[in-house]
Structure 1
Amino acid sequence: MFNASLSWIKSKQVFLKIQAGTGDNLQQEDIQKGFVDYCLWSTFKPENIDIDGELDMECLDGGMVLSKEYFTPKTALESCYYEAFSQNHNEGDVVILIEESS
């Protein structure tokens, strides 16, 4: 099961953070439409990453992606990349820095 990832997007010069949903944001109408999973995503400039707990994490953009299948690390990245940048996932554009799965 997918938990979270942090990737560097070379063409945009931003970090893409993806976190698995906990289920709290799936509404009854989403479930009725067949959605079973979701991911939350955020993009950050390098200077906005808080490494010591002293800065507020200021994201550039963020959102949620719903899915009718459970996300794998690959499908989460592909879906969130598309939502964040309005273009299909380009494997050569992404450097995965951290990936957590259980």
Structure 2
Amino acid sequence: MMPYYFTFGSSRSFPYQNTYIVIMAADFRDAVRAFRDKFPDIHENCLNCSFWYDKKAWEKSGKSVYDGIPPAEVIWTDRCWGEKTDGYDEVYIYVPETQEIIRIEEGTGDNLLAEDVEQGYVDYIYYEQYELAPDMPECDGGQILLEELFRDKYKCTADCIPDVLSMAYGSYMYDCMILPQRSENQ
């Protein structure tokens, strides 16, 4: 997963003015495809933005212009974490930077407290973090309370990965990959 940064000037032809967006993608082609899907070219073969940066170029020259300003939008491509499975089975991801594996699943509904329901929460995401060590000890985890049903908010379990990364690490800007599920025949 790589971040690509797309900047916008003041032209009204841009979808945003004087800001930037981040597209989390498998590679540059994946990022451009996602950008064009959301913001079609207004001139043939010309992206509807001022400029784009990969992570290295952004750190070197693009970031200083927008220092302290959050992106107007973050777009996650379907391929940014690897093979995304359809459905609502549990998902395991590997986070190289922290050397952890995270198990993510839809809440079962039996863990909401009365005060959670009173505050408008109706569902949750449950996750467990495991150290990448011989005995795979559980090192952290938690649940993310939701004000809408999990299956209404997400098209599949993998779609909640950014929210889990934000809760677990304080930022969704962590590289991770979905670990393949073993079939019963393996």
TM-score by length of structure 1 reads 0.73
Q: Quick check: 1:79 aligned with 2:158?
A: no
Q: Which sections of structure 2, spanning at least 5 residues, go unmatched?
A: 1-86, 182-186
Counterpart residue number, 1:64: 143
| Aligned residues of 2:89 and 2:105 also touching (Cα < 8 A) | yes
Counterpart amino acid of residue 44 in structure 1: Y
Counterpart residue number, 1:27: 113
Counterpart amino acid of residue 61 in structure 1: D
Per-residue displacement from partner, 1:75-99 (whole Å, max 9, x unpaired)?
5212211111111x13x70101147
Q: Quick check: 1:95 aligned with 2:177?
A: yes
Q: 1:10 is matched with which residue: 96, 106, 110?
A: 96
Counterpart amino acid of residue 127 in structure 2: W
Q: Which runs of 4+ in 1 moved over 3 A?
A: none
Q: Which sections of structure 1, spanning at least 5 residues, go unmatched?
A: 50-57
Which of 1 and 2 has greater Rg? 2
- Across the two proteins, how many residue pairs are aligned to each other? 89
Counterpart amino acid of residue 76 in structure 1: C
Per-residue displacement from partner, 1:16-58 (whole Å, max 9, x unpaired)?
1112211111122211211111111111122234xxxxxxxx2
The separation in 1 between residues aligned to 2:169 and 2:104, in whole angstroms, is 14
Counterpart of 2:121 in 1: which secondary structure? coil
Instruction: Call closer, same or farther: CA 1:75–1:37 in 2, change over 3 Å.
Output: farther
TM-score by length of structure 2 reads 0.43
The separation in 1 between residues aligned to 2:89 and 2:112, in whole angstroms, is 17
